[in-house]
Amino acid sequence: MKIKKFVKDCFSDFKKVPSWIVALSAVATVLMNLLANKALFTDGNFISCDCAILVSWVMFLSMDIATQRYGGKASLAITVFDVIVALAMSGIMAGIAAIPESAYSGWFQSEEAAVALNGLVGNNYLVVLTSLFAFVCSSLVDIGSNVGIGKLFKQTIASDKKTPKTFFIYFVRAYGSTFLSQFVDNLVFASIAYPLLFHIPCSPLSIALSSFLGAIIELVAEIVFAPVGFLAVTKKKEEVVAE
């Protein structure tokens, strides 16, 4: 019964989250899985990172807003929704990639172009599953740490309290949890994908440094949009942010 009530509460809180937050998180998750197939930079010794770090911060920004305004259960429901959407989109794209090419296609002037597109939309399912696994792990860290840090403050972020103090509370909760979750996301994905799937000769030190650097880059990107997140959390006067 407790599990049933928990699921019901998650679904109830999920329905309160604005559609633009859910959509933004889902799109970022799908893009993250695609971009994880492309290396952004690697020297094989100390630093290796993939292009997923360019968009993953959007996903965590959406979750931070949802957690602080609608509670951890709402963010957990968003995570489940994102995973379902990402798996569905990966299946659809893999099916498209499996469609045989015609003898001549007006869209493609060379076989190389068709092969390149198939490689993009039919990306390796192992990469997708690894990326989603890292996403789930980091999401749990993000939600747990955001709620946990929030409990350190006696004051909640009431919707009618746009003050420096409430902005500080928002900032500490959002970016403390974001840094921890981004580091976990990068660490889990890099530990599995780089040596086993991409065959990049990364040392444990390289993976750790890459995860730390990626967390810093994504944190800086999200900090730029701190005012947007704060306004989204404190938008309506009648609502009070969940702990």
Please report, for the domain that includes residue 142, its CATH number: 1.10.1760
Does any domain span residue 238?
no
* Beta carbons of 173 and 156 less than 8 angstroms apart: no
Give the count of domains, the chain.
Answer: 1
Q: What is the pLDDT of residue 47?
A: 63
Instruction: Please state, in angstroms and rounded to a whole number, the distance separating the CA atoms of residues 166 and 172.
Output: 10
Does any domain span residue 150?
yes
**Residue 133: count of CB within 10 angstroms of its CB:** 16
pTM recorded for the entire structure:
0.80
pLDDT at 237 over 50: no
Q: What is the pLDDT of residue 240?
A: 42
Does any domain span residue 240?
no
Q: What is the pLDDT of residue 153?
A: 79
Does any domain span residue 85?
yes
Report pLDDT digits (tens) over 153-163.
766 655 546 77
Range of the domain at 167: 2-233
More confident residue, 61 or 221: 61
Does any domain span residue 145?
yes
- Mean pLDDT taken over the chain: 79
Q: What is the pLDDT of residue 81?
A: 93
Does any domain span residue 159?
yes
